[in-house]
Amino acid sequence: MSSLGKDRRMVVTGGAGALGLAVVRKLVSEGVMCHVPCKSEEDRVAVSALDTQLVQAVAGLDLTNEDTVTDFYSEVAASGNFSGSIHLVGGFFSAPILETSCKDFVMQFELNVVTAFLCSREAVRHFRNSGQGGCLVNVTARPGSEPRTGAGLLAYTTSKSAVAAFSQCLGEELSEERIWVNAIAPSIMDTPANRVSMPDENFDAWVKVEDVASTIAFLVSEENHCVRSGIVPVYGSS
Report the C-alpha gap between 23 and 138 in whole angstroms.
13
Examine residue 1 and state whether it is found in any structural domain, yes or no.
no
Number of domains observed in the structure of the chain: 1
pLDDT, one tens digit for every residue, the chain (238 residues): 456 656 799 999 999 999 999 999 999 999 999 999 999 999 999 999 999 899 999 999 999 999 999 999 999 999 999 999 999 999 999 999 999 999 999 999 999 999 999 999 999 999 999 999 999 999 999 999 999 999 999 999 999 999 999 999 999 999 999 999 999 999 999 999 999 989 988 898 999 999 999 999 999 999 999 999 999 999 987 7
Question: Is 77 exposed, middle or buried, given 0-12, 13-18 or 19+ CB atoms closer than 10 A?
Answer: buried
Q: Percent helix, strand and coil across the chain, each rounded to 5?
A: 50, 20, 30
Examine residue 3 and state whether it is found in any structural domain, yes or no.
no
Examine residue 188 and state whether it is found in any structural domain, yes or no.
yes
Contact 56, 12 (CB under 8 A): no
Would you give the DSSP letter of residue 94? Answer: -
CATH assignment of the domain containing 138: 3.40.50.720
Torsion 137-138-143-148 (CA) sign: negative
Full residue range of the structural domain in which residue 103 is found: 9-234
Examine residue 64 and state whether it is found in any structural domain, yes or no.
yes
Contact 111, 161 (CB under 8 A): no
Examine residue 99 and state whether it is found in any structural domain, yes or no.
yes
Q: Count how many residues are written for the chain.
A: 238
Strands (E), the chain: 9-13, 33-37, 55-58, 82-87, 134-139, 179-186, 189-190, 207-208, 230-234
Examine residue 4 and state whether it is found in any structural domain, yes or no.
no
Provide the whole-model pTM: 0.95
What pLDDT is attached to residue 1?
42
Examine residue 2 and state whether it is found in any structural domain, yes or no.
no
